[in-house]
Amino acid sequence: MSLFIQQVLNGIMLGSVYSLVALGLTLEYGILHIPNFTHGALYMAGAYVTFLLATSLGLNFWVAMILSMIALALIGIVMERLVYRPLMLESPLSSFIAAIGMIFIFVDGALYIFGPDFKRFPPVHTQVVQVLGTTITFQRIIIILVTVALIVLLHLFIKKTVVGATIEATAQDMEGARLMGINVKRVRMMVFALGTALAAAAASLVAPIHLVHPGMGGPVILKAFVIIILGGMGSIPGAIIGGFLLGLVESLSGGYISTSYHEVFSFGVLVSVLAIRPTGLFGGK
């Protein structure tokens, strides 16, 4: 029983990370109308920035994370402006290819600068806590709490502020929004900033547990895609629910079935769903 609880808590923690990443991805999709494949590389970059700030500059973890979110937000804005904007009217293939190019730049750049070894993150919250009969590090609980906080903040931002409303409007109908006087260019940049910041947050939160290395974005981004396809590309609730669901499935199947095949399991689920409903579970577009 204790194993079960531990797996469930682990799953929720994993799910938190996945949700944040999927949220950023789905926000970007809502605006771009194509998936931002570079998202995983940006996730990885966020982790490295936090790592750098925390180790070389000795900054407090939370400060480092926030700075990293800001840095990644800026990178996201630049990326949108320089790469995705010129390709806006081209076929989705072009944006996809540009994304691949950027992935190479980030991932192999990180490989070159930092080397391929897994970097140890200075431990942040190592206290161990007893929850529901199992022990769990405080760090994992923090991940879950911070994620929930970010999700709530995001929700309030989108639903309760005017800026948030402009984002929703642009996501639904870019032309219409433009005609209403909404500065669509600024909205695009803002959404990208938000999306990449969320990825940076997710990566920073999980960095102390899973080590930092250049390839860390790969598996995460593929899973994020699984999530937004299942949950519906562009759907915020879909990303959140899907993220937690996948985290749980992975944790439980990894714990009870086998760890080496658990990726196959997640992808197998995706492929099966797509075979039955080619536009995802909540599919629209």
Partner 1 sequence: MRTLTELSSPKRLIVLLLILLAFAIPFFVSSRFYLHILIMCFIWGMAASSMNLIMGYTGQVNLAHGAFFGIGAYAAGLLMLKWGMNFWPALVLACIITVALGFFIGILALRTKGSYFAIGSMCFNVIVTVIIDSWEELTEGARGLLGIPRPSPIPLPWGGQIAFASMPTYYYLVLIFLLLTLLVIYRIVHSMMGRSFLAIRGNEELAESIGIHGMRTKLLSFLISTALAGVAGVLYASYIGFLSPEISDYHVTFEFLIFCLIGGLGTLGGPLIGAFLLTVVSELLHGVAVPRLVAYGFLLVLIIIFLRGGIMGGAQMLWLKVSGKGGR
DSSP code at position 135: E
Q: Specify the residue, 161 or 279, whose C-beta has the smaller distance to partner 1.
A: 279
Report if residue 90 touches partner 1, rule: CB under 8 A. yes
Asked whether position 22 contacts partner 1 by CB under 8 A, the answer is: no
Q: How far apart are CA 150 and CA 263, in angstroms?
A: 27
Q: Does residue 222 belong to the site contacting partner 1 (CB under 8 A)?
A: yes
Which residues between 225 and 244 bind partner 1 (CB under 8 A)? 225-226, 229, 233
Q: Which of 5, 59, 70, 83 binds partner 1 (CB under 8 A)?
A: 83
**Cβ distance to partner 1 smaller for residue 140 or 262:** 262
134 contributes a contact to partner 1 by CB under 8 A:
no
**How many positions of this chain bind partner 1 (CB under 8 A)?**
42
Distance CA 200, CA 211 (A): 15
Residue 116 CB, shortest distance to partner 1, in Å, is 12
Our measurement of the distance from residue 189's CA atom to the centroid of its chain's CA atoms, rounded to an integer in Å, reads 17
**135 bridge partner residues:** 130
In whole angstroms, the minimum distance from the beta carbon of 225 to partner 1 comes to: 5
Instruction: For partner 1, give the closer residue by CB, 12 or 171.
Output: 171
Cβ 204 vs Cβ 46: under 8 Å: yes
Residue 35 touches partner 1, criterion: CB under 8 A? yes
Contact 201, 70 (CB under 8 A): no
Binding partner 1 (rule: CB under 8 A), the pick from 12, 102, 189, 205 is 102
| Token representation of residue 225 | 């895609």
Structural tokens at position 277: 């409903």
Based on its alpha-carbon atoms, the radius of gyration of the chain, rounded to whole angstroms, reads 19
* Helices within 33-60 (DSSP H only): 39-55
* Under rule CB under 8 A, residue 87 binds partner 1: yes
Tell me if residue 258 falls in helix, strand or coil.
Answer: coil
Q: Residues 26, 144, 206, 150: is their CA dihedral positive or negative? A: positive
Write out the residues near partner 1 by the rule CB under 8 A. 34-35, 83, 86-87, 90, 92-94, 96-98, 100-109, 111-112, 222, 225-226, 229, 233, 260-261, 263-264, 267-268, 270-271, 274-275, 278-280
